[in-house]
C-alpha cells in the first residue's frame, strides 16, 4: 500500500506542475481585454482568432475552471479570470427577456445562436456554483437557482430531461448533441451533466429540492440509461428511452462512474448503502462501469474513443484520457485491493505526457492523436468544445487527494 501511495503522490505532483505551468498559463492568455470573456478559438498552429464566436459552454467551463483553480491555489489573478467569465456570461449570454442562456454570441458579445439547450444551462449552473463558492456573491447563487428552476419548468417532461429549444423554449431538433448519424430526443450526455450541475448546486445551496432531483436523476441513469447486461451507458435515445445505436462511449462511462459517485454522496448524505436499495444499486453500477471500461477499452497505456457496432474507433482523445486518469484513481480509492486501477491511471498519464500534451511553446493539449500518437490535422486547441474543464479538473481533483498521497 505504501508503494501505491507513493505512486499517487508522484502522479499528483506531476499533474500539479502541469496545471500550474502549462494549462493555467495557456487559458489566462485567452482573456479578451477589449470585449470581455475569453477568445473562442485557437487553431492547430496556435493562432488565436479574436473575431471567432464565443460559446457559452466554453465560457461556463472557463468560469468553473478559474473559480476552482483559485479555490485551490489562492492566486488573485485566477479569481480575476473567473470574474471576467462571470461578467461576460451575465452581459452577453443571459436572455433577459425570455430567460436562459444563448448557445453562442459574436466575439463582441451580440447574440448569435439563440438556441436554449438543456446541456448549456447545466454547464452554466456548474460554473456559477463554483464562482459562488469562492466569492459568496448572492447574485451568482440566485442566477444558478433560477436556471435550475428554468430547466425543471421548461426543459423536461415527466420522464426526464429533454434537449434543444428555440429562444422561446419551443422544442427544436437536437443536432447539437446528436452524433453518429442519429437524431436523439434524449441523450446520456445531457442527463449526465445536469446531474453534475445539480451536484454542485446542492453542495453550495443546501437546497433539498435539488437533492430530490438528484435522486430522481440517479434513478433514471440506473434504470433507463445504464445497460445492465452490457455494463455500459446507452448514449442516444428516443423519447421512451429506446437506444438508437449500438455505441459504447468509453470516456463517458469512466467519467460517469466518478461523477455518479459524487452525486450519490450529495443526494444521499450520511446514507448507508446497505440500508438504501437505490444507493446500493448506484454504487454497484459505478463499480461495473469502471471494470467494464478497464476490460474492454484499456490497452495498457490509454483509452480509445468509442466502439460503434463492434468497431473500435482508435483515436485517443484528450478529454477521455483525463477522465480515465481521475476515474481510475477514484476506483482504486474505493477498492484499494484493486491496484490495477491506480496503475492504469499512472500509465494513462504517462501516455498523455508523451503524446497528448503539446510541447510547443504556448501550446496546451492536442485534441486527439491517431493510434501511433500523431496529432490529427485540423483539430483546434481551443474552440467551443475544447476547454480546460477535463484536463484542468483532473489536475485539480488529484491535488485534492493529497491526504491519501501523504
The answer to whether the CB of 53 falls within 8 A of the CB of 40 is yes
At 194, is the secondary structure helix, strand, or coil? Answer: helix
Query: Is residue 287 in some structural domain?
Result: no
- Residue 50's CB is within 10 A of a number of other CB atoms, namely 13
pLDDT digits (tens, 9 = 90+) for 158-214: 999 999 999 999 999 999 999 888 999 999 999 999 999 999 999 999 999 999 999
Query: Taking the model in full, what pTM does it have?
Result: 0.96
Whole-angstrom Cα distance, residue 336 to residue 3?
12
Q: Give the pLDDT band (50/70/90) at residue 402.
A: low
**Which H or E run includes 113?**
strand 111-113
Whole-angstrom Cα distance, residue 391 to residue 320?
9
Query: Is residue 131 in some structural domain?
Result: yes
Query: Is residue 172 in some structural domain?
Result: yes
Output 378 or 179, whichever has higher pLDDT: 378
Position 404 pLDDT exceeds 70: no
Strands 368-369 and 226-227: unpaired
Query: Is residue 398 in some structural domain?
Result: no
Query: Is residue 70 in some structural domain?
Result: yes
Of 230, 248, 253, nearest to 312 by C-alpha is 248
Position 341 pLDDT exceeds 60: yes
Q: Give 246-302 as a 3 state SS string.
A: CEECHHHHHHHHHHHHHHHHHHCCCCCHHHCHHHHHHHHHHHHHHHHHHHHCCCCCC
Position 406 pLDDT exceeds 50: no
Query: Which one-letter DSSP state was computed for residue 370?
Result: -
pLDDT digits (tens, 9 = 90+) for 216-264: 999 999 999 999 999 999 999 999 999 999 999 999 999 999 999 999 9
Query: Is residue 330 in some structural domain?
Result: no
What is the per-residue pLDDT for 320? 98
Query: Is residue 268 in some structural domain?
Result: no
Query: Is residue 188 in some structural domain?
Result: no
Q: Give the pLDDT band (50/70/90) at residue 405.
A: very low
Q: Stretch 323-343: mean pLDDT, rounded?
A: 97
Which domain, by its residues, includes 142?
50-177
Q: Give the pLDDT band (50/70/90) at residue 2.
A: low
Q: Give the pLDDT band (50/70/90) at residue 275.
A: confident
Whole-angstrom Cα distance, residue 31 to residue 20?
17
Count how many domains the chain has: 1
What is the per-residue pLDDT for 398? 97
Of 194, 200, 234, nearest to 216 by C-alpha is 194
Whole-angstrom Cα distance, residue 48 to residue 386?
14
At 220, is the secondary structure helix, strand, or coil? Answer: helix
CATH number at residue 87: 1.50.10.20
In sequence order, the β-bridge partners of residue 306 are 313
Q: What percent of the chain has pLDDT over 70?
A: 98
Whole-angstrom Cα distance, residue 215 to residue 212?
5
Q: Stretch 304-327: mean pLDDT, rounded?
A: 97
- Cell numbers for 375, please give them: 496529432
Whole-angstrom Cα distance, residue 37 to residue 56?
10
The answer to whether the CB of 227 falls within 8 A of the CB of 166 is no
Name, in order, each residue with C-beta under 8 angstroms of 250's C-beta and a sequence gap of 6 or more.
293, 296, 297, 303, 304, 305, 306, 307, 320, 324
Amino acid at each position: 500500500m505504501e508503494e501505491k501511495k507513493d505512486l499517487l503522490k508522484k502522479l499528483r505532483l506531476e499533474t500539479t506542475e502541469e496545471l500550474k505551468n502549462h494549462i493555467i498559463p495557456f487559458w489566462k492568455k485567452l482573456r479578451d481585454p477589449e470585449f470581455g470573456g475569453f477568445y473562442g478559438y485557437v487553431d492547430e498552429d496556435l493562432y488565436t482568432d479574436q473575431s471567432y464566436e464565443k460559446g457559452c459552454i466554453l465560457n461556463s467551463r472557463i468560469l468553473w475552471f478559474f473559480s476552482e483553480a483559485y479555490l485551490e491555489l489562492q492566486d488573485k489573478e485566477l479569481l480575476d479570470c473567473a470574474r471576467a467569465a462571470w461578467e461576460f456570461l451575465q452581459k452577453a449570454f443571459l436572455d433577459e427577456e425570455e430567460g436562459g442562456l444563448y448557445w453562442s454570441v459574436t466575439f463582441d458579445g451580440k447574440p448569435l445562436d439563440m438556441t436554449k439547450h438543456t446541456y448549456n444551462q447545466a454547464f452554466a449552473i456548474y460554473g456559477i456554483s463554483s464562482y459562488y463558492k469562492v466569492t459568496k456573491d448572492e447574485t451568482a447563487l440566485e442566477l444558478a437557482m433560477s436556471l435550475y428552476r428554468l430547466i425543471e419548468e421548461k426543459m423536461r417532461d415527466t420522464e426526464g430531461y429533454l434537449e434543444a429549444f428555440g429562444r422561446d423554449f419551443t422544442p427544436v431538433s437536437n443536432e447539437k448533441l446528436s452524433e453518429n448519424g442519429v437524431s436523439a430526443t434524449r441523450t446520456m450526455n445531457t442527463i449526465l451533466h445536469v446531474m453534475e450541475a445539480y451536484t454542485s448546486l446542492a453542495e453550495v445551496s443546501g437546497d433539498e429540492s435539488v437533492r430530490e432531483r438528484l435522486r430522481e436523476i440517479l434513478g433514471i441513469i440506473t434504470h433507463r440509461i445504464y445497460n445492465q447486461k452490457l455494463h455500459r451507458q446507452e448514449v442516444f435515445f428516443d423519447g421512451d428511452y429506446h437506444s438508437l445505436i449500438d455505441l459504447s462511449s468509453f470516456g463517458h462511462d469512466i467519467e460517469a462512474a466518478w461523477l455518479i459517485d459524487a452525486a450519490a454522496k450529495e443526494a444521499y448524505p450520511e446514507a448507508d448503502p446497505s440500508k438504501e436499495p437505490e444507493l446500493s444499486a448506484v454504487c454497484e453500477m459505478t463499480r461495473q462501469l469502471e471494470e467494464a471500461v478497464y476490460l474492454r477499452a484499456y490497452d495498457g497505456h490509454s483509452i480509445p474513443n468509442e466502439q460503434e457496432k463492434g468497431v473500435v474507433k482508435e483515436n485517443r482523445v484528450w478529454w477521455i484520457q483525463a477522465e480515465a486518469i481521475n476515474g481510475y484513481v477514484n476506483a482504486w480509492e474505493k477498492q484499494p485491493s484493486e491496484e490495477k486501477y491506480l496503475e492504469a491511471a499512472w500509465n494513462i498519464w504517462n501516455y498523455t505526457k508523451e503524446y497528448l500534451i503539446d510541447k510547443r511553446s504556448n501550446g496546451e493539449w492536442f485534441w486527439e492523436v491517431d493510434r501511433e500518437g500523431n496529432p490529427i490535422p485540423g483539430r483546434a486547441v481551443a474552440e467551443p468544445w475544447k476547454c480546460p474543464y477535463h484536463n484542468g479538473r483532473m489536475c485539480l481533483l488529484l491535488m485534492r487527494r493529497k491526504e491519501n498521497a501523504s
